[in-house]
């Protein structure tokens, strides 16, 4: 697990470190040193003539930038400092850094940002250290600083952000005005939430988390409820597959999906479940889908029904479904391609009422689930209150907006905050976005894999199959299953992008690629 902090968390970390006796200046010096070392080793090497311009604000982020320029100067590099922050806002540490830099002979000037534009300085040839704002930034970059930032972004000079790119909100990744578009971000101690999600992530470039000597005791106090993980950690969370096992040990997965017009959804979900390691998949589908599914995936067991779409399911169908849900399944998927018919609604209702195993509710299943709750005695769905512990909802933004009775734009704008609020729900919500989030069980996970090639028909169906197979096979660490599934889905997309490019990814191949992910990270 890689923990993520918001701006308040970063400030608390600072306070906790100070309470333990760690002087702020020591942390600042180490922060600056980590940026200077990165620039020296990665960007400069022996190039002592290359111009390095640290653009600094009044706060401690600016102090870091000044110290970094001083360290590079002391090593013999060609660095200078331009302070664009207001004098009256200089922090004590920043004042000390200014004094020290001047005494060490660093070229340092305090300038009006707009004046810099008219001066046509050497930004184009330089390495720019962006130390205007860090986690103390709130709201929007405006006025002269906004104009200057736009000007800076026009140059293709290499830009290195100190802690976070200036103009990005460290807590939610929002850029309300402009922000510095960086190539690298050296962030301190713990990765920041604001650069784990878009659009902030786009401004950060490559992110390096530098150890600047925060005491372990202070780091341990950083809230562990918001996290991500990366490729180096997923082997640890992968389910075990003992040699002396049979197909029943790897879980029986029941997929209730598809309709007469759409049999692909159930196929993709089932294929992904098998590619993830699921032992046995039963598809509960309309009789009309039988022939196609038998040809597409003979490995699946089929249970079919012949009820018409305009009526609730017959007793025969209801009994078959009850048996499969209560006596057979270790994990259930319901919803993909199901359609919004009366028949589908009665299928969803039956599953919602009866299921006691973990159940992934997706796509049409979510719309019908909402209608079912609306028609129930509670009338209005309160996700936090009403979600059964074993339910995993997988909405995209529009579906989540419908579930929460909120405008879509509002949900999109505030998705990180909403995920944090939903973390107290007893089931789990997978919010499918450019950076998918998982909220539930007191935790909020932000996914770090995947690319825009996954925004394609059938991609969500594949995710349901991956999740169901992991649920059915993993008994050791159930709380990590959903984040792991989301990560695997994105990683399969990333590996497929290498082969096909992000335009050409199709869901069938994505499901197949999951096998490659499982192979690579379990052997
Ligand atoms: N955490 C740690 O342990 C360590 C932290 N360190 C470093 O400290 C950084 C945090 O420093 P910080 O708290 O001084 O805040 P910072 O980001 O410099 O900005 C504050 C200034 O911005 C201003 N301002 C805000 N919004 C604005 C707007 N929209 N438009 C215009 N102005 C705006 C604000 O003005 P005010 O709101 O006060 O009016 C104030 O002047 C952190 O990111 C890291 O780099 C390291 O040294 C190592 C240890
Ligand atoms: K910055």
Phi, psi values for residue 27, rounded to 5°: -65, -40
Q: Are strands 78-83 and 107-110 parallel, antiparallel or unpaired?
A: parallel
Predicted complex ipTM: 0.98
The tally of domains found in the chain comes to: 2
Residue 356's CB: how many other CB atoms inside 10 A?
12
Q: What pLDDT is recorded for position 369?
A: 94
CA 61 to centroid of ligand 1, rounded, Å: 6
Dihedral of CA 431/432/438/444: which sign? negative
Q: Are strands 437-440 and 443-446 parallel, antiparallel or unpaired?
A: antiparallel
Residues 269 and 206 in one domain: no
Distance in angstroms (rounded) separating the CA atoms of residues 332 and 353? 13
Ligand 1 atom with the shortest distance to the CA of 86: 41
Within-domain flag for 173: yes
Residues 173 and 286 in one domain: no
Residue owning the nearest CA to atom 39 of ligand 1: 89
Residues 168 and 274 in one domain: no
Taking the CA atoms of residue 100, residue 101, residue 105 and residue 111 in that order, the dihedral angle to the nearest 10 degrees is -130
Residue owning the nearest CA to atom 25 of ligand 1: 137
Residue 10 belongs to domain with CATH number? 3.40.50.10260
Q: Is 414 a known ligand-binding residue? A: no
Q: What pLDDT is recorded for position 504?
A: 93
Residues 265 and 363 in one domain: yes
Residues 146 and 259 in one domain: no
Within-domain flag for 136: yes
Q: Is 140 a known ligand-binding residue? A: yes
Which residues does ligand 1 sit against, CB inside 6 Å? 10, 13-14, 17, 27-28, 31, 57-64, 89, 91, 133-141, 162-163, 188
Taking the CA atoms of residue 396, residue 397, residue 402 and residue 403 in that order, the dihedral angle to the nearest 10 degrees is 70
Give 311-369 pLDDT, tens digit per residue.
999 999 999 999 999 999 999 999 999 999 999 999 999 999 999 999 999 999 999 99
Residues 198 and 97 in one domain: yes
Residues 340 and 462 in one domain: yes
Question: Of 66, 134, 211, which is best to mutate to test ligand 1, by the most ligand atoms within 8 angstroms of its C-beta?
Answer: 134
- CB distance 474 to 237 below 8 Å: no
- CB distance 462 to 269 below 8 Å: yes
For the chain, the farthest-separated pair of C-alpha atoms sits apart, in whole angstroms, at 88
CA 55 to centroid of ligand 2, rounded, Å: 9
- CB distance 396 to 177 below 8 Å: no
User: Residue 418 gets which letter from DSSP?
Assistant: H
Give pLDDT < 50 ranges for the chain.
none
Q: Which ligand is nearest to the CA of 20?
A: 1
Q: What pLDDT is recorded for position 498?
A: 96
Within-domain flag for 437: no
Residue 513 belongs to domain with CATH number? 3.40.1190.20
Within-domain flag for 74: yes
Q: What pLDDT is recorded for position 177?
A: 93
| Domain that includes residue 362, residue range | 250-393+456-522
CA 131 to centroid of ligand 2, rounded, Å: 4
Residues 31 and 92 in one domain: yes
Phi, psi values for residue 99, rounded to 5°: -60, -45
Residues 188 and 336 in one domain: no
Among 208, 223, 238, identify where a domain stops.
223
Residues 261 and 141 in one domain: no
Q: What pLDDT is recorded for position 335?
A: 98
From 366, 423, 396, select the one nearest 193 (Cα to Cα).
423
CA 199 to centroid of ligand 2, rounded, Å: 15
């Amino acid at each position: 697990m890689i923990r993520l902090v918001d701006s308040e968390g970063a400030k608390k970390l600072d306070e906790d470190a100070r309470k333990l006796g760690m002087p702020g200046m020591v942390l600042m010096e180490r922060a600056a040193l980590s940026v200077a070392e990165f620039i020296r080793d990665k960007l400069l090497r022996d190039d002592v003539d290359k111009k390095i311009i640290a653009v600094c604000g009044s706060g401690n982020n600016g102090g870091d930038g000044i110290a970094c320029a001083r360290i590079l100067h002391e090593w013999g590099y060609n660095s200078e400092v331009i302070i664009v922050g207001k004098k009256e806002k200089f922090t004590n540490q920043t004042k000390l850094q200014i004094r020290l830099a001047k005494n060490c002979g660093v070229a340092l000037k305090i300038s009006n940002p707009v004046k810099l534009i008219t001066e046509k300085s050497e930004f184009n040839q330089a390495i720019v250290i962006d130390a205007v704002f860090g986690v103390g930034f709130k709201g929007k970059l405006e006025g002269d600083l906004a104009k200057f930032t736009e000007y800076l972004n026009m140059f293709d000079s290499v830009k290195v952000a100190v802690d976070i790119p200036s103009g990005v909100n460290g807590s939610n990744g929002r850029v309300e005005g402009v922000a510095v578009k960086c190539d690298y971000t050296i962030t301190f101690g713990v990765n920041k939430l604001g650069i784990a999600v878009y659009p902030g992530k786009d401004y950060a470039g490559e992110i390096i988390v530098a150890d600047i000597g925060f005491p372990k005791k202070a780091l341990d106090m950083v809230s562990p409820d918001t996290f991500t993980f990366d490729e180096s950690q997923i082997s640890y969370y992968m389910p075990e597959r003992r040699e002396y096992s049979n197909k029943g040990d790897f879980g029986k997965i029941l997929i209730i999906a598809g309709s007469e017009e759409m049999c692909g959804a159930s196929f993709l979900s089932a294929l992904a479940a098998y590619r993830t390691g699921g032992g046995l998949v039963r598809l509960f589908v309309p009789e009309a889908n039988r022939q196609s599914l038998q040809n597409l995936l003979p490995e699946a067991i089929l249970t079919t029904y012949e009820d018409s779409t305009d009526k609730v399911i017959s007793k025969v169908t209801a009994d078959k479904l009850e048996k499969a849900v209560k006596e057979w399944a270790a994990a259930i998927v319901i919803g993909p391609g199901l359609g919004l018919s009366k028949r589908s609604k009665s299928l969803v209702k039956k599953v919602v009422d009866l299921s006691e195993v973990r159940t992934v509710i997706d796509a049409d299943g979510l719309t019908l689930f909402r209608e079912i709750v609306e028609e129930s005695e509670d009338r209005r769905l309160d996700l936090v209150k009403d979600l059964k512990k074993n339910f995993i909802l997988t909405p995209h933004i529009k579906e989540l907006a419908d579930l929460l009775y909120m405008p879509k734009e509002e949900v999109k704008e505030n998705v990180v905050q909403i995920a944090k609020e939903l973390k107290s729900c007893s089931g789990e919500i997978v919010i499918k976005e450019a950076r998918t989030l998982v909220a539930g069980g007191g935790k909020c996970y932000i996914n770090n894999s995947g690319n825009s090639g996954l925004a394609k028909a059938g991609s969500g169906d594949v995710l349901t199959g991956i999740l169901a197979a992991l649920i059915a096979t993993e008994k050791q660490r159930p709380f990590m299953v959903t984040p792991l599934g989301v990560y695997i889905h994105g990683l399969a997309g990333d590996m497929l992008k290498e082969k096909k490019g992000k335009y050409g990814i199709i869901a069938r191949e994505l499901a197949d690629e999951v096998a490659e992910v499982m192979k690579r990270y379990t052997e």
